[in-house]
Structure 1
Amino acid sequence: MILRRLIIFSLFFGLAFQSSAQNFDIKGKLFIIGGGSRPASMLDRMVKESGIDKEGYGVVLPMSSSEPDSSAYYATSQFYKQGVTNIYGLNFVKLEELKASKLDSIRNAKLIYISGGDQNRFMDIVGGTDIEKAIHDAYKNGSLIAGTSAGAAVMSKMMITGSELKHPEYASTFRHLESENIETKTGLGLITTIIVDQHFVKRSRYNRLLTAIIEYPQLVGIGIDESTAVLVSGKQMEVVGESQVIVFKNPEQSKNTFNDKISAQGILLNIYLPGETFTID
């Protein structure tokens, strides 16, 4: 128990230092969407925050989808309906030879939009490549990085995969609060202090996110409902859209187990509505 707490303590301060170092020179913003439909007001906010209504262009990265061409088409179409036509689909496949011109299209885009699908599929193509580096370069230099559903999950360093280790048959939420059950992998790491869950209120994913912040108490759990987004600017977060954002914290780093079930005390829960703001250290 003492060793576990020492490891968590070291990891927490390591992540905090890394986050501070990253945020110090980052000019961009994140727009993390919980999935579902995207109201016109949300699209307008993305356009205005990115500035592509005035100059530059946006790109859609559809690699989360099993049908990336269709995903790129529908993603760009939603912007076209708003009168924004300077946004384009840009697909990559695993292990392709990466051309400098294609990477520059990401690096110089003012808006990068990651579509929904399967976050594992996206990271399998992008993780550890120059594509990932180009996304980070764009974010550092002032671009808006947006993502919906799977595109939301990939934003954080620690990424929920959607799978349970002890119950491989898929369910939209966890049926239990169990130790060593949540599967996580490495996401893009655009933000390191949170872990994101999507479709949150609609699919009642409370057990999953509670499990995450009990197992990884150094992280803040952000549950974003459908048709809702969190706009991240430094440590400031604003709720945009139509529904709620649920925030879980485990400040006492509490975890107890009994027959694989877990408990925790002192967990904090906050619920935010569109237009409300909060900060994450």
Structure 2
Amino acid sequence: MRISFLPLVVLMATFCGSNGSLRPGHPAGMAPQSGKLFIIGGGARPAALLQDLIKTAGLDSQGFALILPLASSEPDTAAYYAIQQFLDLGLPAGKFKKCYFEKNALSPAGLDSLRAAKLIYLTGGDQGKFMEAVGGTPAHAAILEAYQNGATIAGTSAGAAVMSRKMITGNEFKHPEYTGDFRTIEAENIEIAEGLGLLDHCIVDQHFIRRMRMNRLVAVALEHPGETCIGIDESTAIVVEGDSACVAGEGQVVVLRNPSGSQKIQHGLIGGRGLELSVLLPGDCFSLTN
């Protein structure tokens, strides 16, 4: 595990540390999933959206937040800006820890901090990089345990993509050169990998309207008919509690389903009939179940 202090401007926000009183009383898998998810589509995070996150997590009254910049190629910088956005809203630096580590290298004290955090915040970057460090490790189990015990798990951009059990990696099998321009709706093109599994039977896409990712999500919906496919725009979030979600922020959320499982493949192209599409605005709520 690599640990280094943030610059003094954030008043030495602490890292994954030990505190014997912080470990929750329920073992992993035993407690009900009583936490919430705050899934941000990337881009700028307006003050009002962050205030919603603080209120959702109850961070204004008690507890601490743990920043996981594992998706970023510059974790110190990612953690600094993630914490600074909350300091700018008046929260004290003592409420924040940051932690980054290699696969299976998180210390017992770090695992205690994960389990005890009121808010776990996942920064942007590369969702594959995040899952390489976390997937299937004790840290993964600790995140799930924190959620089961009432923590809010928040993520932006790549940190949003990892929330679901089936995760869009950002890669295309048929077009491996990354352009960010999803010009086709093709069969067996969009790579799906294992995510954190905080959201079951849902697949999350981000930067959705801004980066015109509808083609990608249509292909995913056609190939994964049992999933609710959710495209979240920048400066926008969905707040998940139980089996429902509500839109917060400034933009739109697209919800796409293929309830009949319709699918037809011809010359590498994929098609289908009867897809259900909703375009939701801030304040709108929807069910996560088909």
Shift of 1:171: 2.2
Contact 1:173–1:208 (Cα < 8 Å) also in 2: no
Partner of residue 147, structure 1: 155
Which of these residues, 277, 282, 285, is aligned with residue 269 of structure 1?
277
State how 1:242-253 maps to structure 2 within 5 Å.
242-253=250-261
Contact 2:64 2:97 in 1 (8 A): no
User: Which stretch of structure 1 is more off in the superposition, 48-57 or 94-103?
Assistant: 94-103
Q: Does 1:175 align with 2:183?
A: yes
Give the whole-Å Cα distance in 1 for the aligned partners of 2:52 and 2:183. 36
Q: Distance in 2 between matches of 1:260 and 1:46?
A: 42
Check whether the contact 2:40–2:156 (CA below 8 A) recurs between aligned residues.
Answer: yes
Aligned partner letter, 2:83: T
Cα shift at 1:174: 1.6
Q: In the alignment, is residue 62 of structure 1 matched against residue 95 of structure 2?
A: no
Aligned to 2:128: 120
Q: CA deviation at 1:96?
A: 5.3
CA drift of 1:95 comes to 3.4
1:78 maps to 2:78: no
| Match 1:107 to one of 115, 137, 140 | 115
Partner of 1:280: 288
Q: Please give the alpha-carbon distance, in whole angstroms, between the structure 2 residues aligned to 1:84 and 1:166.
A: 46
TM-score of the two chains, using structure 2 as the length reference: 0.87
Q: Secondary structure at the match of 1:210?
A: helix
1:35 aligns to 2:45 (yes or no): no
Q: Cα deviations across residues 148-179 of structure 1 (Å, max 9, x unaligned)?
A: 00000000000000010011011224211111
Q: Which residue of 2 aligns with 1:46?
A: 53
Q: Distance in 1 between matches of 2:97 and 2:155?
A: 14
**Matches of 2:200 and 2:123, distance apart in 1:** 21
Is 2:207 the counterpart of 1:199? yes
Q: What TM-score comes out, normalization by structure 1 length?
A: 0.90
Aligned residues: 260
> CA offsets, 1:179-230, max 9 Å, x none?
1111011000001111000000001100000000101111111000000000
Amino acid corresponding to residue 264 of structure 1 in structure 2: G
Give the counterpart letter for 1:242 in structure 2. E
Cα contact 1:249–1:269 (8 A) shared by 2: yes
Q: Greater helix percent: which structure?
A: 1
**C-alpha deviation, 1:98, in angstroms:** 2.6
Q: Deviations over 1:61-109 (max 9, x none)?
A: 0000000000000000000000112442422222353321111111100
Task: Select which of 131, 153, 159 maps to 2:167.
Answer: 159
Q: Secondary structure at the match of 2:125?
A: coil
Unaligned runs of 5+ in 1: 1-21
Amino acid of the structure 1 residue aligned with 2:204: V
Structure 1 letter corresponding to 2:111: L
Contact kept? 1:242, 1:274, Cα under 8 Å: yes
CA contact (8 A) 2:104 2:138 kept: no
2:32 aligned partner, one-letter code = D
**What SS is found at the alignment partner of 1:232?**
strand
Distance 1:97 1:76 in 2: 23
Structure 2 residue matching 1:239: 3-state secondary structure: strand
The offset of 1:236, in angstroms, is 1.2
- What is the aligned-residue identity percentage? 50
Misfit runs of 4+, over 4 Å: none
**Structure 2 residue runs without a partner (length 5+):** 1-28
> Partner amino acid for 1:31?
F
